[in-house]
Structure formats: C-alpha cells, structure tokens
Structure 1
Amino acid sequence: MTNQKPLLSKFLSFLLLSLSLCGHESLMMANELIPVGVVLDLKSPVGRVAERYMSMALSDFYAVNHNYSTRLSLLTKDSGNDVIAAASAALDLMKKEEVQAIIGPQSSAQARFVIELGRKARVPIISFSATSPSLSPSQNKFFIRIAQDDSAQVKAIADIVKAFGWPEIVLIYEDTEYGNSLIPHLMDTLQLIDTHVPYRCVIPPSSNNTEIIKELSKLKENYTRIFLVHMSASLGSKLFALAKNAKMMSEGYAWMVTEGLSSLLDPMSSKVMDSMQGVLGIRPYLTPSKQLEDFERKWKRNLTSIQAKIKSTTSLNWFGLWAYDTIWALAMAVEKAGMHSRFFKQSASGCNADLAALDIFENGTRLRNTIANTTFEGLSGNFGLVNGQLEPSTFEVFNVIGKTEINIGYWTSQRGFSKDLKDTGEKAYSTSKDKLKPLIWPGYTIHQPPSRLRIGVLVKNGFTEFVKVEWNSSTDDTPNVSGFSIEVFFAPLSLNLWLTTGVAFIFTGFVIWVLEHRINTEFRGPPAQQLGLIFWFSFSTLAFAHREKVVNNWSRFVLVIWIFLVLILTQSYTASLTSILTVQRLQPMFVDIKEIKKNGYFVGYQKNSFVKELLKEQFDIHESKLKPYETPEEYHEALSNGTHNGGVAAIFDEIPYLKIFLSNYPSKYTTVFPQGSPFVPHMSRAILNVTQNRSKIQAIENKYFPSQLTCEDQNTRISPDSHSLGVDSFGGLFLITGIASTVSLLVYVFKLFYSHWPILSNKNPADSYWSKLVKMAKHFDQKDLSSHTFKGEESRVHAVASPEVSVPSPGIDDMSNHTRNSTEGLDDVVIHDDNGSLSSSSRHGDTSMQDVPNSS
C-alpha cells in the first residue's frame, strides 16, 4: 500500500497536466484567426497615425472581449501614394492571404479600383478616409465608408459664406478624385445663395513650388480675396506656406478650409500652423466621452516611444478615430457573423494578375450586412451606418489662432449656427454670424475682409456729364477721370444730421447722469462704468431698451421730451423713406411697343450700345427701322422731325442717358420705363443704399447736370417739399430738447451751489476760487443722504459716548477737513469746538462718530 501512494500521486499529476494541455489546445483552437488586409500609405501622416490607432484598437477590443472565439489578424501593406500599387496590394491580399475584408485604401482614387476588386471577390472594402462623393456605398454593395461623405459639409460651408455676406468666393482644390468630386456639390449650393465663383484654381498634387506660386500670383491679381481650400494635408500645408510668403495671409484676405484639411490640422508642424493664422474651417464635432478621455491619456502616455517614428503630435485627429472604430466594428461583425468559411475557388489559375479568376468569399455578403447593422459607442461618437456610411453629424466651426484652433461655434442641419450646443432656447434655423463667437482674420485683425468689386464705366462721346476723360502727357499719360459716374462712388456721406443727432444723444445722457448721480445707485460706480452709462442710456432710448430707472423729476422731464424727439425722428425718417420709394409716377402717352411696330415707325438708339441687338432680337424690330445717334442734340433733332420727316418716333436708351436728354428738353419728351428688368441681387442692394441718400445724389446731379435745376421733371411731378431729411427738418425739436436739458441742468447746478457754496465760502474764506470748485466737485460725487431714495436705508450712526450727547452729521461746513484727507471714497473728518473735539470717519456716506472729552 505504501508503494501505491507515490504511483497514485504521479498518475493524478499526469492527468491534471493532460487536462491542462487539452484545455489550452481547445482554447487556442477556439480563437480562430480571421485574416484582414490593411492597405495604407505609410509615408503619409494619415497612414502612420491610422496604423498605430488600429493596433491600439485591436488590443483594447480583445482586452474587453476576451471571451470572443474569433481574433482579427491584420496584414498590412504599404501602397504609397500610387493607385496601381494599392490595387496590386489588395489583389495580393485576396489571392494569397484570402483576407475576408480589406481596410483601406487611403485615397479616393485608390479606393475606386479596389472597390471593383472587392465587388468581384465579394470581399468588403472598408475605408475611413476615402470621402469622395463619387464613391457611393449605395451603388457599390461591398464598399463601406466609416467616415462622412464630403458632400455633407457643403450646406455648412454655404451658411458660413452667407453669414459673412460674401457675394463671390474663389475655389482652390487639388486635381484628384478627392478634389474634383466635391466641386459640383459646392457650385450648386453656392448658386442657391447667390454667391458667384469667378475663378476656380486647380492644383495637381505633383505641382512644385514654382507652379503653385504662379497660381497664387493669378489669385493675387484677382479682385476677389475670399478663398475656399479643398485639398489634402500634404498639398494644403505647402499652399499656405507659399501663400504667406506671397503676402496673401495678410489683412484683406479671408481663407476657409474644408473638412478634409481641417480634420488633420493637429499633426501638422508648427511652421505650417503659423502660416495659417486667421484661417476659418469646419470639421465634425467630437463628442466628449469617458472612453475618449481614457484613450487620449493612453495615447499620450505611449506616444513618447513612437512619436519619432510616426511623426505625430499628441493631439487626436478624426481619421485616426475613424480607423479605431473601424477595427471595433469589424471585430464585432466577424464574431456575430460566425466567420468560419473560406473562399470558393472559381479558377485554378495561379496568376496574381488574372483579375477574372478571383476567388469568391462565400460569406462576404453576410459580413457586409452585419457590419452595416453594427452599433456601439465609439471614440468618434455613436457608431451607426446609414446607407453604408456614417451619418452627417454636428460640425464645429473653428478659427486658427496661434498653435491651435479656437472653437467659435457649431452648425447643425436642424438649427444652423449656435455658440453652444446646450443652448436649447432658440429653435429657429439661423445663418447669422452673430451666432458665432468673434474671430481673428488673417493679418491679426478683427475686421472682416471686405468684398471687393471692380466697376467699369463706359465712356460715351456724347454724354461727358457721366464720364469725362482728359489725358495729360506730363503725368506719364495718366488720364484725369471725372464726372457723375466717378464721384457717385467716392463721394462721402453727409454728416450734418448724424453729427447733430449724435451730439444730442451724448448731451442728453450727460444731463441725465448729472441729475441722477447723487441720488440714484444705478448711476454710480467706477468712472469707466459711469462713462459707459452716459453713452448707453441715451442711445438705448432709440429702441426704448433702457433699463435704468430715473428718480429725479428733472430727469423725467428731460427724458420725456427726449423720447418724444426720438419717436418723431424715427417715424419721420421711415415715413420719408417710404414716400420716396412708393411715390406714384405719371404714365407716358403709350407704353406698348407693338404700336410702333404695327405702324412701321422708325426707332432711334445710342450708337455703339447693346440696345440695337436688344431691339432686333427681343422686340423683333427690323434693322432697317433702326437709326443710331450719339448726342442729346441728335436725339432732339430726330424726335422733332418725326418718323415721316427723316427722324424717329421714339428713342430707346438706358435711363441715365435719357435723364440727361430730358434735363435739356424737359417739356417736350417723357420716358417709358422697362418692366421686370432683372438685376443681380447684390448689386441692386448696393445701388439702393446709394440712391436712397437723395440729398447727396441730388448734390452730385446738380453739379454735373445744372440745367435740371430750372426744369420741372415731367415724369414725376413730385412736390418740392418731398426732399430728404436734414437737420433743418428737426431743428425745432432739437432746439426744444436742448433747451429742456440745459434748463434742467442749470437749475440743478444752481440749487447745488445755492445750498452749499455760501457755507463753503464762510468756512474757508482763504481758499482760492478754483480750490472751492474742486471741493464742490468732490462733494457732488458723494451720495445725497438727504434724498428720499436713501431714507429707507438702515442708519449706521452710533453714539459711543453718553446717550445724552447730541452728535451732528458731517455737513458742508465740515467739507474742508472732509475733502482734505479723502482717498478712494474714504473720508476722515475732524471737528473742533470750544468744549471738546468730535472725531468722525465716513466711507461712502456711512458715518461713525465719537465724543471725546476736553482734556482741560
């Protein structure tokens, strides 16, 4: 029995070891390796970062899901920036490695060919960086895009352009599949908001510095200084560095970048970021999460050893996050689909280049559908595919300042712009730039670059009142150009009414402040606060938005008269403008051109103008019935002779030239205005802004067309009193409010001096007049505790000595000592009399006093 125990012990040990080995072998067999191909450009920032993100995703996923029976095995191939190399790598992975999915390739051009290979072999092609709209997952069944389509951003871009009121914008993009495919979507969306694209700058990725500088020189000569850049990081960084050297990142320019470039700003060098100061951009908004914070800490901790290899910064970027989520989605889908099948051998050919003989992955469709239905909380947010790609989400609007990008707002398809996503107060869709935070433009300025417009004015020999060109050989043949069409664009605005109104605003605010300062806490505070209140209070009355209450009756008197003036001013301006815009005009004797054509009348037009072709093509008037003329005198002669005596029955011309003609012959002719004439919206608004200032337009017209001063306009017959608003229109109202404010101010100052000046003079007769004024000013700055507004406050005057002692409050008779030691509102007052000394200290009107017995 003793010998049997060691044998039994050895047997049990052997049995346990066998069971352990069998369990380990079973576990190894349970973890089936699923080959997955990865095709990346490992020399690019995106490729280097994505490879590292996917490696971390693989280890993180199986650390959490260690009980999974499948394990992804990533087989990576470097495609470089070459379409053929990418296709060759994908083909090799399918034929030799029999991969069940391919992640990549990186660019849209590479993806187009590889997608076809995936379709033939039924192998899902999963890309996190091929964002071209021309690659559609709905049209390519085995293509899955774990990224947002580039076209998802065009509405946000258009809203930014609309918010800043840019009528024109130049597109700069790279000549690739990625660059070209977005342009039609941009053009269509910009056209909907009436934004013109005068020039499109196309730059091939292979362009050297000289070629890019040549393109930038063309842009610099263009009058449009608003640019939208859509290109990859490598080409975009080169473009901005050269643009800075060309002085195109200075004040007056505006640059905006699309999602593709802005999503990769972080890995760029500080030198490139320095050349992009003031650039505006959009990118998907990254929702903060606990999982993202943990990953970022791990990324920064592990980056020290690999940073030199991948040449990246510690910041995250979108393509890396999408690559990370791609691994998680694929690992989940492989486990759910139960991927234990192999390729179906379609041909025995061993030639790698035989595309027709690709083996077919029999469970490819099931894997593709499983990926499409996979949902989870990823690093980039809620993961869920819609039509084979990520659904557009919230966009972040940012501004490049210093070495980082500053968030200035958000954009969503439901609400437009907003400063804060948590703000749920306003539901209406907004494209106002007020919904964005202030930003810095190129040149480190807060002033928005203006939209520049080149205006050409045609010189007419017979109408020198509009443009007169005089050549002077002594100034290197530089012409001296003058006339109505020149001065109307450069004439300054009339300042009479606005200056008078502005002075009245400031004066009224000052008067209200003086009347309220001593008795109203809302009109007290630091000097800067009080100065701002003077401007704010009076100007806020323009919209009746003032919130400060007034307690002085004189203030109420001034304010009532002032608000009455403001009401009359605004209502009169509105009424006058409405009258100008809606005045009825008399009609001419006939307006139908059919009558002229029916009777075969001759028609005149201005020589060398477009009117001739208009009459021929649009009105179908035969050329034999058209006669050209050049000067107003020729117009008059032709109309006087009539159509039967060698003249014409009517003359067709542009309105400005006809106004010149009518000014010379006001009582004989009238005009027929065209109906439904199309005007470009932006130019129409600009013209209205100028023409509505009738006083200035009239002054310029009088200068160049003086004969109109003696002529009655037969077309309008408007009353002579219907002129623009001027200072004289409101002279009486300004006089009334000025007198009311001045009288109130003088009465208040008189009462103040009447009450306190005699006491001050008697107490300190030796002081100079100026010294007394200074003391009065300091006294004015103190609260008037006798006012009814302070009587409700709790008294803080305490008698420290005997209750029978009568202690007076410090008044104007103690002002000499009170002001002598005043510092920042702290006042020490010492009062001496024959019986004893009374010491007192006061801070901002609070008083404490003590009766000190006489030492004698």
Structure 2
Amino acid sequence: MATYIISSFRNHNKHVTYTSLISTSVNHTQILEEFHKFQYMQTKVFVVHGSPSISSRLFSMAKDVGMMSEGYTWIVTSKTTNFLKFMDSKAIESMQGAVGFKSYFPKSSKFHGLKHFMGLKEVDYDGMWAYDAVYALAMAVERLQTKKHVTKLALLDHILRTTFRGLGGEFKFVNERTLLRPIEVKNVIGKGDKRVGFSIVNGEFVKKMGKTNSSTNNGLEHIVFPGGHTSILNHRRLQVNGKKMRILVPVFGGFKNILQMVVDPKTNLSNVSGFCGDVFNVAFNVLNHKVDIEFVPYLFEEGRTFNDLIDKVYYKEFDAAVGDITITSNRSRYVDFTLPYSDMGVGTLVRNADKSIWIFLSPLNADLWFTSAGFFLFLGFVIWVIEHRTNEEFQGSTTQQIGTTLWFAFSTLVYAHREKLESNLSRFVVTVWVFVVLVLTSSYTATLSSLLTVQQIALKGGSVQFQGISPVKAAVYNNVKLNEDVLVELRSADDYAKALRNGRVGAIIDEILYIKSVLALYSRHEFSLVATSSTTNGFGFVFQKGSTLAKDISTQIAKLREDGTLKALEDKWLERQSSIMSNDFPAVSPNILNLYGLRGLFLISGVSMAFALLVSMVYLAREKCQGRSKMEMLRRVSKICPTPSTCTR
C-alpha cells in the first residue's frame, strides 16, 4: 500500500522526499529520533499509513514535540481513518487538524438487511469488502460452469468484468484493475471527525456524491489544519523552530559582475550581488517570506568542484545554493533546479584579428588558386593549338601569339574576350570553361562577403580554453570533437583576456554568461563572440529535492523574463554585450573554398579541353598525312612527265 501511495504522488508530480518505516515494536526514543530528523530536514507535510495503534503513538509524540502546530499538514490513510471512532479520546485530541481518507459505503437496504439477518451491531469496512469480493468470485465461477477448462486468467477476466450492487454500493472495476469506490475525506475536529467531501475515481473532489465540482476550495468544505488555520500555508519547508535558511554561494572571484558576496557594513550580514545574486534577490523578495537567510561562501580549494557543492545540498547540509551553477541531467537526479535564468549553451570568444591587405586571397585555398591559374594557361594553350593555323588573330610573331593567347584566356574571367573563334572545338571548350568561371566567381564573391562581415576563428595549431570547475569541458569534448590535449584551464575574466592577447589560446569556449562578462569588462573592439551552441542548459538555483521553493522561484524567473526585469538586470551588469552581437543571429563561420569541393567542375572542363586538343591533333596529323601524299604523287608525276609538252603527247 505504501508503494502505491508513493507511486500515486509521483503520478501527480508530487515528490516524496523521505520514507520512514516504523514497526509496532519501536520504542519511544526511536520515534523521537525520527521526528528530530524530520525537523532537521524541514519537512512539514506528512502522510501516515499505519494501524490505529501505531498512529495513536505517532500523533501523541508529534504533539509533544510541537509538530501538530501551525504550518504542519498531516494526511492519514484509510488504514487509520476507517477505525477512527474506535480510538480513544486522547488519540483523537492529538490528531486535531489531520486530514484523513476513509472508505465510503452507502447504507443500502441490502446492507441493513444483511446486518439484521446476521444480528450484527457493527460491520467493519474490511468485512463488507470481503463480502462483496466473495460475491463477485461466486458470480464469476457460476458463469464459467459451462466451460470444460477454466484457467486462472479466465477467472480473473470474469471477475474484472463483474458488476453488481453490493453492500458498499456499485461493484465495478475500471481500467481492468481499479475498483470503482468513492472515498470520504475527513477532517479530525473536536471529539471526532467531520466529512468535508469525497474523492471520486477520476481524482476530483466533490462536497456531495452525485454532484460535480462547482464550488471553491477544490470542491471540499473548509478544512481546519493543525493550529486552527483553514488554508495550507505556503512554503511549509522553510523554517522550523526559528532555524535560518542556509544557502551556499560558490565564490572564486573570477567574474564579480556575475556573482560575488558582499557584507553590509551596517548590519554586518552577508548578501549576494552581481547578475546571479540580483536575480535571486528579486525573485525571492517577491515571494514576501519572513525567513532569515544565511549566505555561506563555498570556496573552490583542494580540488573542490560544483558537484561537491551539489552534494552539500543533496545531503541536506544546506537548504539551497545560489550562483552560476550549470543545470545538468546528472545533478537533477539529486537536487531540484529552478528554470534557467541565463542564456542556454556555450559561446566562442576570440580576439579580433587585424584586417589583412591580402584578405581578398582568403576565399580560396592555395591549391584552388594554383589549379585555377593552371587551367587558365591550359585553356590558352588549347585555344592557340586549335586556332593559330587558321585564325589570323592568333598569328604573328611569337611575342604577339603569347600575348594574344594569355589575354584571351584570362579575359574569360570577366567575359571580355574580343577575339573571334573560327573552330567549333574552340567554341565548345570556351563554353564549358565559362560555366566553370561563373560558378567559381560566384562562390568567391559570396565567401569574400562573409569574410568581410564575420570575424573568423583560427584554431589551426592553437588551444581552446574552458573553465576547469564547470561542466563545459565535457560538453565541448563531446560535441565539438576537439582533441583533449588542446584544452586549457583558466579561472577568471583577466585570465581569459591575457590568454587571448598573448596567443596562449586561439579561442575561449565557455558558458555564454561568462563570455558576456568578459565582453562587459573589456573593449568590444578587442574581443568578439563569434558563435554559440546549445550544448548546455544554462544556470539555475539549487534546492533540496521536493522543495516548494524551486517551483515558486521558477515561476518568478518566468515572470521576470516576461516583464523585462531579467533583461534589465543583464544590461545592468553586462550592458556592453548588447552592442557586440545579437544572440538571435549568432555568427556563422563561412567555409573556405577548396579544390576538393569544386573538383567536379575542373574535371569536366579538363576532359573537354583534353578532348578538343586530341581531336585537333588528329585533324593536324591527318592534314599532314594528306599533304605528304600529295607531294609524293607530284614527285611521281614529275618523273613520268618531266615537261608539260611530254605529257601532252
């Protein structure tokens, strides 16, 4: 039953922070130790599932230690509430304000008839359940009498499909397992209990059976809780017996505009400032809780990490942690995080490179430049071979032929060639080459435009920085696929700037908030945020598992983001970032063109040139052969007919 209750709470997004098993043989001291543990955990909502005897002892001792006072909420299951009228007055007195769930059986004529027939004064709920269960079993067996072979599953199936009017009302299963039974909600008041409503099978609360929920207060009558209050006090987990709420603050001094601890000289009390501190203070103050808070610094010494800080909250040494704490799936298994209040993901910070006078060469790799130049020369050679024998524009002295050929080849780059081609082979070669030039020049123009508007990050042979005490290294290593030997640990904004200035690192990859912190402290003309990637979940505040504050602070963070307060706080501490780069349009580094990417174009052009050259050489060889044949025939004719007069005779 206890497992079912815990599962039911989880299905309704209610986290059970602690489960205590107390046997009937437990002594007074052991129960007190459990209560002291509850007080230390600052738990104020309890669910009691036990027999009436053990429940009586628990409530009596809870009252003695002050845990039946204002701010506490006690919920009792039917295992105790069904027998409430049999408990003594002292037990009832100690349970004042408790809310109980009781099995509900309408007093039908069948119930009264059976009670009179058997001569019973009282019939307990277990007895009525047992009677209806046996009756359902008998009906199922009766329906199966006609079958030769009866299996357990067949019998179970008939029981689950059995419906009838039993002692406790309608007997019917829903969802093949759940027995359709309403539950009374009782409030222990005075010398007994008071019905405040019903819980029906779909989870709703109603004041009366057969009527839908049309009233306030969750469909229930007013409930009087311990201490006499008629409403549940918010944030029941905050303060017990005047105990302060102790909050850990990670302090390493590297980014004071993000988080730092300050001491009020008037009150000598510690507080937090910076972007993270202001967000927490604004969100918490809106809740208007009268709770004393003690901020405790957490120093990163002797190899301590943020995971060690999480452990402090998990083991309940501290109530919460406030600071630049990254939300991760593993950490969320042990503590509750608020919604992220910072930008999610990591950014890349680089030092602005000097503008080079040779930037126009950058769009193409060296191999592509040399290949393109070689093809221009090869084009000129092919055209000269094809045209110079018949085209007067490609004839003349050697110098003139070379000049004309080079001029024609390179003028195709801007489609300015004026020489008229006479051979169809030449026209074919030039047509294919002009298409290659069109693609090449278009790609060059696009890449050069990107280079002139976007700062590039050069990581060739350089190192990448990450913050050693944050989980960014894992995110970078797993997502960016860098070699681990190029990762360098730095700790502060000054370290970031120095490392970039002296060339120790080529780039800094870290949480975006840290990058913004550096940009807020140093000139935007010196450093730039060139890329972002959503590989981390941002920063959040940490609370113990099940803390109501985590949800409430998350709600306030959402409101601060909606009304612009969060943006105003960011501008207050990181205002220079707004002029650097919009997060909605992160920079994207253009790809430099290389020969491998355009190899198909050059292959087509090269094949066309080689084909044309081959055909031209075949024609030339054929013409030479024909010329030699003619000369040979003339020599033979001259021998036979040395003079024209001889041939005419």
Q: Larger RCO: Structure 1 or Structure 2 (Cα < 8 Å, ≥ 6 residues apart)?
A: 2
Q: TM-score, normalised by structure 1?
A: 0.38
Q: Of the two, which has the highest radius of gyration?
A: 2
TM-score by length of 2: 0.49
